[in-house]
Structure 1
Amino acid sequence: MKNTLSILIILFISVSLFSCTDVIEIDVKDGVSQLSVDALINNKSETQTIKLTLTQGYFDNSPIKPALGANVILFDQDSVAYQFKDLKNTGVYSYDGKANPLNKIGKQYALYINYAGEEYVSLSKLNRVPKIDSISYEVDKLPVKPENGPQEGFLPQFYAKDFDGEGDCYWIKSAKNNKYFSKATEITVAYDAGFSPGSKSDGLLFILPIRTSVGRELYSDKDTLKVDVYSTTPEQFYYLQFVSQVSQDGSLFSTPLSNIPTNIINRNEKSIKKAVGFFGMSAVSSMETIIDKSKAKPKK
């Protein structure tokens, strides 16, 4: 009797679950196309670029449209203007930073964009960045052959120390044989020398997981490794952290999808035209090395 009752209960639950199959038709309408701004500027003596495109409907599979004819100007705290020009008419606005790099550490910078009769503005600060002291690597072997990279090789790490004074934020990037690990899931950010505020890591050597984050794959003898540490504002730290989190979420209890926050503001608060993307200023510290198996440390 008990077995029969259990089976009936299971059948009742199953029918209840699988009977809820009514088709719900959702009318998806495209919203207003918005300006998308990719403006991550650094202090290197090289060409700096700001990419402007237009957002499009979710089901629109046509090529992304560039935002042409914009007036793009960067102002520093000393009221010096830097004009970015779309020389190739592709929506990529550039400034030649070779002769006059954007390197006023500790100063504020303001971005101004005039596009299609709308004015967009944003602020960022060029914060300090610590020097990379050294790069080392040790012999390592993974238990399973990975999709990318060798199973046996060398696991690298870099050494750098956070400045004294809480609140310094960083973005750590690395390149293997001149190819950067640039996926959203490969973003590594640091708050002081740790992963987040309150970690009591101010003024210390970056913690081990951050130092070894440059080893996205094992390296082989003669491979080239480049490590960059970018300074960021706290706002950019949280922006990059959010981008990384959203790109990795996929479970039942993951963070609900939402628009990634932006620091690009339309001066006309009543306008339906908004902007997406981010404007950030970064100072960069870099170091490059060629893996030499004779200099590798044994695995601990």
Structure 2
Amino acid sequence: MVIKMTFKNIQYIIYFFIFTLISCEDVITVDLATGRPQIVVDGWINNKFETQKIRLVSTTGYFNSDAPPYVENATVKIHNLVNNTTMDFTYDKDGYYTWTPATLADTLLVRQRPSDFDRDSDGLYNNYYRLEVTAEFTGVDVHFEAFTSLERTPVIDSLTFKTQVASDDYPEVIYGELWAKDFAGPADCYWIKTWKNDSLLNKSNEMSLAFDITPGRSDYGDVIKEDTYFIPPVRNSINPRLSDDEQEAKKPLYQINDSVYCEIHSMTENAFDFMSQAKSQMSNGGLFATPLANVPSNILALDSKSDGLVVGVFCGSAISSKGFRIKTKPPYEEK
């Protein structure tokens, strides 16, 4: 059967679609069911001679813009499994529990690679420190634990800066590179943090994670036989990421008299996977965005009552750092 399409038929179809689009402009209120609250662990410890912090907060509704409720009644301990000592953390404020080393000798231990302390002979080395937490939470006595080690981190050789030649679309640009060598041998994971004029670059697309010399998981740890510099995507990650509006306004990355400070934080592979997935979810959006979900955690419930009531991450880091002030115009990049 052949259907003839007249101009009037086409008009009717166009009117139908216009009417449909207009009729879809009503605001629809979605009543989302509220899931049960969970404790969120933000547990990052390091080898610096400074106060160590573990933060415990509660999850809240997706559309709730208030600060998350703090978990203030917990008992928080970290057990040093190497020398069988315990650090008792006390509540401070805003969900933070703190402990301060009394002397430099009390700072946390960095594991000496490749295999100095495989306590249970499982080939893993996240058994230097054990976090133990108990708390009364939503009427339940919650009890959970997590394990970590502090892995090695490379020294930052230098921060260098160059000037990119102006183009028809953009003025001269000053940009920086971080020079540090990943260690040869087994996989190493890092979180590179950068401060510009004392302000942390903390957009989701400014979070710089490295697995060996690359931004994502790779086999380089099994391949490279000598210490090797990070590849350009990692080296260049110390530069601010400009929004479309900032690019349109030709905002500079760096200028003369700017100060730049970088830190490399080592991470366990568990923490690297956690942060990689968290970064993916923070930048998740658009037409083909994946549904939001809890990022897999290395926090373990110690009984059935606590199961499903805790998320987050516990990790230790060794930290290296270097700063630089741009005093004069950097040399032009080589073509």
Asked if Structure 1 and Structure 2 have the same fold, meaning a TM-score greater than 0.5 normalized by the shorter chain, the answer is: yes
Matched, 1:119 2:106: no
In the TM superposition, what is the alpha-carbon distance from 1:62 to its structure 2 partner?
4.3
For structure 1, the residue ranges without an aligned partner over 5 or more in a row are 146-150
The one of 233, 244, 260 aligned to 2:279: 244
Partner of 2:245: none
For structure 2, the residue ranges without an aligned partner over 5 or more in a row are 118-127, 241-251
The answer on whether the counterparts of 2:78 and 2:131 sit within 8 Å (CA) in structure 1 is yes
In the TM superposition, what is the alpha-carbon distance from 1:5 to its structure 2 partner?
8.5
Q: Deviations over 1:83-119 (max 9, x none)?
A: 1111x34421111136221133256211111111211
Matched, 1:28 2:32: yes
Partner of 2:110: 104
Within a 5 Å distance, the mapping from 1:74-93 to structure 2 comes to 74-78=78-82, 79-86=84-91, 88-93=92-97
3-state SS, counterpart of residue 280 of structure 2 = helix
Q: Deviations over 1:42-95 (max 9, x none)?
A: 111111111111122234444422111211111122222111111x34421111
Partner of 1:262: 297
The one of 183, 190, 212 aligned to 1:192: 212
The answer on whether the counterparts of 2:257 and 2:327 sit within 8 Å (CA) in structure 1 is yes
Scaled by the length of structure 1, the TM-score of the pair is 0.86
Cα separation, 2, equivalents of 1:186 and 1:221: 21
Cα separation, 2, equivalents of 1:26 and 1:223: 47
Cα separation, 2, equivalents of 1:194 and 1:275: 31
Matched, 1:299 2:323: no
Partner of 1:148: none
Partner of 2:120: none
Cα separation, 2, equivalents of 1:26 and 1:249: 21
Scaled by the length of structure 2, the TM-score of the pair is 0.77
Q: Deviations over 1:262-285 (max 9, x none)?
A: 222221134465112211111111
Matched residue count? 293
Matched, 1:56 2:60: yes
3-state SS, counterpart of residue 41 of structure 1 = strand
The one of 177, 180, 183 aligned to 1:157: 177
Letter in 1 for 2:87: Y
Q: Deviations over 1:235-274 (max 9, x none)?
A: 1112111122112121111222212222222211344651
Cα separation, 2, equivalents of 1:286 and 1:8: 68
Report the CA distance shift for 1:138/1:122 in structure 2 as closer, same or farther (over 3 A).
Answer: same
Partner of 1:277: 312
Once structures 1 and 2 are overlaid, which stretch shifts more, 195-204 or 50-59? Answer: 195-204
The one of 42, 47, 56 aligned to 2:51: 47
Report the CA distance shift for 1:58/1:254 in structure 2 as closer, same or farther (over 3 A).
Answer: closer
Report the CA distance shift for 1:187/1:50 in structure 2 as closer, same or farther (over 3 A).
Answer: same
Cα separation, 1, equivalents of 2:22 and 2:234: 50
Cα separation, 2, equivalents of 1:134 and 1:272: 46
Partner of 2:70: 66
**Root mean square deviation of aligned Cα:** 2.9
Cα separation, 1, equivalents of 2:318 and 2:77: 19
Over the matched positions of the two proteins, sequence identity in percent amounts to 29
In the TM superposition, what is the alpha-carbon distance from 1:169 to its structure 2 partner?
0.8
Report the CA distance shift for 1:89/1:19 in structure 2 as closer, same or farther (over 3 A).
Answer: closer
Q: Deviations over 1:137-168 (max 9, x none)?
A: 001367668xxxxx655211111111111411
Cα separation, 1, equivalents of 2:28 and 2:196: 48
Cα separation, 1, equivalents of 2:107 and 2:43: 16
Cα separation, 1, equivalents of 2:292 and 2:47: 33
